[in-house]
Amino acid sequence: MELYSVPQDYFASVHAEYQKRRDIVFEALNEVPRVICKKPTGAFYVIAKLPVVDAEEFVIWLLKKFDLDNETVMLAPAEGFYATPGLGKDEVKLAYILNENDLIKAMNILKVALEKYPKKR
């Protein structure tokens, strides 16, 4: 189907769905102590500064050593998204592409992981 023939209400519903997903992630991140992020206005992801020294080490720990009820989350270390060396070392990129229930669960897993991570600041 050609894009120009897609009904306008489709775009409105997709926009509303992604705003809801963004808000779930953004609000959950803002509830975690020492996590800093700005609310995105036109992206499908959030960049969040975490209370860790090295986000890549944290992500590896999440995948290799942490689970909550046999589940974990995968994040992208944000350092690779910066041109300036050293920027983003303590940041991660979180895409909000999952459905609402899975996002809520993922944000809870991340919150618990940050509480239990042994290499905090």
**For the chain, domain boundaries:** 3-116
pLDDT of residue 105: 97
pLDDT of residue 111: 97
Residue 9 in this model has a pLDDT that exceeds 90: yes
Instruction: Kindly state the tokens that stand for 78.
Output: 């944000």
CATH of domain 3-116: 3.90.1150.10
Read off the pLDDT of each residue in 83-107 and give the average, rounded to a whole number: 95
Work out the percent of the chain whose per-residue pLDDT is above 70: 98
pLDDT of residue 42: 87
- Using DSSP, state whether 78 is helix, strand or coil: coil
Chain-wide mean pLDDT for the chain? 94
Residue 2 in this model has a pLDDT that exceeds 90: no
Is the whole-model pTM more than 0.75? yes
Lay out the sheet containing 91-95: strands in order across. 36-37, 45-49, 91-95, 76-77
